[in-house]
Amino acid sequence: MHLDFEPSAPSLEDIDFSKFLEVDMRIGEVVEVQDFPEAKKPSYKLKVDFGEGVGVKKSSAQITVHYNKEELIGKKVLAVVNFPPRQIGKFMSEVLVMGFSDSNNDIVLFNLDKDVPNGARLH
C-alpha cells in the first residue's frame, strides 16, 4: 500500500491540479485507539472524529513505534477521507491517516502548529 521513497528521490510525474482537488484530506481528532494484533505490521485501530460533515471514521495506522495509545487520544491527524474502504484483515479501514517515513521507515504523523476545527480541509 505504501510506496517507499528516499527523501532525495525526485518528485513523481506531474498531475493535473483537478486530480489533486479530488483528494479530500481533512483534519480529525483521534477519539479511540485499540491494539491491532492481527495486522501484519504493528498497528493500531483508530476512530477519528472529522466533525459533522464526515463523522467518525475508522482507520488502521502503523504508528506504534512513535506513539502510544494514550498520547494519541485527542491528537489531530490528517487523513484522506474519500478513498473507498479497505479491508485489512478482519478490520475495515475507512480513511487513510497521513504521515511521513523517518530514517528507519517508521511513520511520523503530520503535525499542526495551530489548532483547526475537526473536518477542516487541506488546501
The fold adopted by the segment(s) 20-109 is OB fold (Dihydrolipoamide Acetyltransferase, E2P) (2.40.50)
Q: What percent of the chain has pLDDT over 90?
A: 86
Mean pLDDT of 85-106: 95
DSSP E strands in 17-123: the ranges are: 25-35, 44-49, 56-61, 76-80, 86-88, 91-93, 96-97, 99-101, 107-109
- Number of Cβ atoms within 10 Å of the Cβ of 115: 8
Q: What is the pTM of this model?
A: 0.91
Residue 3: predicted pLDDT: 59
Residue 1: predicted pLDDT: 43
9-49 pLDDT, tens digit each: 888 899 999 999 999 999 999 999 999 999 999 999 999 99
Buried b (16+ CB within 10 A) or exposed e, 28-62: bbbeebeebeebeeebbbbbbbbeeebeebbbbbb
Residue 8: predicted pLDDT: 83
Place of cell 504523523: 109
Q: In what order do the strands lie in the sheet with 44-49?
A: 56-61, 44-49, 25-35, 76-80, 96-97
The residue ranges of every structural domain in the chain are: 20-109
